[in-house]
Structure 1
Amino acid sequence: MLFALICKDRPGALQIRLDTRPSHLAWLQELNEAKKVAFAGPFLDDDGKPEGSLVVVEADDKAEAEAIAARDPYAGAGLFESVEVRAWNWVVNKPAA
């Protein structure tokens, strides 16, 4: 089952994002190698600067998706003001299995 991790950055925390980005990308690569991530990327503000993240992961249930979200280095660094975990159904333009 797919889950969307909808993460909103704390105001004024861009430097935390920049400093933590290498470990965040390594974490995403590990998820990708384990076939646990469908896609991911930042939300951008009106100036094109990152202000949050959308990560869609494969998990057995919401508890597993929440555990995945908790291991994000951005979460560990205190970047996020909020993280919402929602079950999600990919309908249009889903890659072939």
Structure 2
Amino acid sequence: MIGGMAETLPTFLVIYQYVPDMEQRRTESRPAHIAWLKERAEAGRLILAGATLDPVDSAVLIVRGEDILAVRRMLLDDPYAAANLIVGVTVRPMGVAVGA
């Protein structure tokens, strides 16, 4: 969202901790999760998202939101959350020195 309102919102680092065997357990929910991420990116709310590899036990999202509570509410809509694949969530405000 170039020049959009979302770019003026605060930026947050989100760290997900996943269930054991996430790589196998996420298969059914993954298409909906990726679609959910793409929707947030198109709305200017998601800057970056990706999971760790070997093992797939955590993920990082860089998001924009009004405040920590708004970000946490948004994360509740993640299909991985609905499928109980996320066992821990950290949300921290961050300053952006370089990048979007």
In the alignment, which residue of structure 2 is the partner of 1:21? Answer: 30
1:91 equivalent among 77, 86, 97: 97
Do structure 1's residue 58 and structure 2's residue 64 form an aligned pair? yes
Which structure: greater strand fraction?
A: 1
In the alignment, which residue of structure 2 is the partner of 1:40? Answer: 49
C-alpha distance in structure 2 between counterparts of 1:23 and 1:16, whole Å: 14
Do structure 1's residue 7 and structure 2's residue 16 form an aligned pair? yes
In the alignment, which residue of structure 2 is the partner of 1:72? Answer: 78
RMSD: 1.3
C-alpha distance in structure 2 between counterparts of 1:18 and 1:53, whole Å: 16
- TM-score in terms of structure 1 length: 0.84
C-alpha distance in structure 1 between counterparts of 2:31 and 2:57, whole Å: 17
Deviation at 1:33, TM superposition (A): 1.1
C-alpha distance in structure 2 between counterparts of 1:16 and 1:88, whole Å: 31
- TM-score in terms of structure 2 length: 0.82
Runs of 4+ displaced beyond 3 Å: none
Instruction: Count the aligned residue pairs.
Output: 91
